[in-house]
């Protein structure tokens, strides 16, 4: 699949780091250091503009190393980039750690996965099939 990209930053394009990688690191494109205090949120620019093909979406995910080491994650857990969005890709970051966190230009701040999806066609029904799980919700399948 080919995705058109405009890179208005001086950073390299996102790339897969290993043959088994599903995500590509996204780099920050901020001229000034961004200091995010504990429990503070910030929208971090990337300088990237994408043209994702119809039938695909971009998924922006937190970097596991930043999350576990520093408490840095995404405000919305996983962000969705729709195929018709043409604005700059900006990353909504929150600091859940107990120390201020600095983001410098070119820092790896998130991951991008581009994946196929299907649109749903709803079928209005009076009932749905039972399953072995039934109405069991949170924690119903064990620990």
pLDDT digit string, tens, across residues 40-85: 999 999 999 999 999 999 999 999 999 999 999 999 999 999 999 9
Please tell me the distance from the alpha carbon of residue 98 to that of residue 58, in angstroms, as a whole number. 30
**What phi, psi does 140 have (nearest 5°)?**
-75, -20
* pTM for this entry: 0.89
- Length of the chain in residues, anyone? 143
Which tokens belong to 1?
A: 């699949």
Using pLDDT thresholds of 50, 70 and 90, give the confidence band for residue 143. low
Which tokens belong to 105? 């230009």
Residue 99 has pLDDT above 70, yes or no: yes
């Amino acid at each position: 699949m080919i995705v058109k990209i405009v890179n208005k930053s001086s950073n390299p394009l996102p790339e897969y780091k290993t043959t088994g990688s599903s995500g590509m690191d996204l780099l920050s494109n901020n001229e000034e250091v961004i200091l995010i205090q504990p429990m503070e949120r910030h929208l971090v620019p990337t300088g990237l503009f994408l043209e994702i093909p119809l039938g695909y979406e971009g998924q922006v995910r937190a970097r596991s190393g930043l999350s576990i080491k520093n408490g840095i994650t995404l405000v919305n857990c996983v962000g969705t980039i729709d195929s018709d969005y043409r604005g700059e890709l900006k990353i909504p970051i929150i600091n859940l750690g107990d120390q201020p966190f600095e983001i410098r230009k070119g820092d790896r701040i998130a991951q991008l996965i581009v994946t196929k999806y299907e649109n749903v066609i709803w079928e209005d029904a009076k009932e749905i099939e039972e399953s072995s799980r039934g109405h069991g919700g949170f924690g119903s399948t064990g620990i």
